[in-house]
Amino acid sequence: QSTQKEESPLLTELRQMLWKNRKPVSPVDQVRPDLYIGDEKTALEFSGLRDLSITHVLNAAEGKFNNVLTGAEYYSDMDIQYYGVEADDKPTFNISQFFRPAAQFIHEALGHPENKVLVHCVMGRSRSASLVLAYLMMKQSLTVVDAIEHVRQRRCILPNHGFLKQLRALDITLQEERLREKRETNGAQ
C-alpha cells in the first residue's frame, strides 16, 4: 500500500500557471455553479446583483485597508447575507487567518440550492480569488493546482506572492490531513 503523498508545487510553478493563457479581465465571472468572483463595481451595483440572483456577499476588501464600503447595512434592502474580511492585498498580510471562516461562509451558503454567492475585493483577482481557492481546497477537496486550474479557466486571477505561499502551505496541510485520515481508516479495517 502506498503512503506516498503528492508534492505541492513550487511557488514559481504556481505563478507560471496563473500567467499562462490568461482570460481577459471582466467585472464578474461564475467560477462554480452559484459561486461568482467579482470586483468592487459588481458588489456596489444592486441591479447587477439582482440579475445574478446573489443571496450572499463575501467582501474580501472590507474596512480600513481597502475602503470597499459595503456591509450588512448596505445590503439591508436586498435580503443579502454579508460577511466581511479586512484583508490587505500585500504579500506580507496573513490572509490564511480568513481561510476557514470564509470557506465556511461559502460552504453553508451553497448548502442551499437557491443561494448564490459573490466573493469580491477591489479588482476580484487577488484577495477574493485566494479565499475562493481556499474554499475549493478545504470544502471541495481540490489540490492547490486543481483549484487554480479550475478558477483560472473561468476568470483572470492573480493572488499575490504571499497569498500563493499561504495557499501552498494550506495545500501541504490538507494533503497531510487526508493522508493521516486514510492511514487511520485503513488501519481500522
Q: Please report, in angstroms and rounded to a whole number, the separation of the first and last CA atoms in the chain.
A: 14
C-beta separation of 159 from 168 below 8 A: no
Q: What is the DSSP letter of 26?
A: -
The one catalytic residue among 121, 138, 142, 144: 121
CA angle 17, 19, 24 (to 5 degrees): 120
| Three-state secondary structure call for residue 120 | strand
Identify the DSSP state of 60. Answer: T
Is 121 annotated in the active site?
yes
Active site members: 121
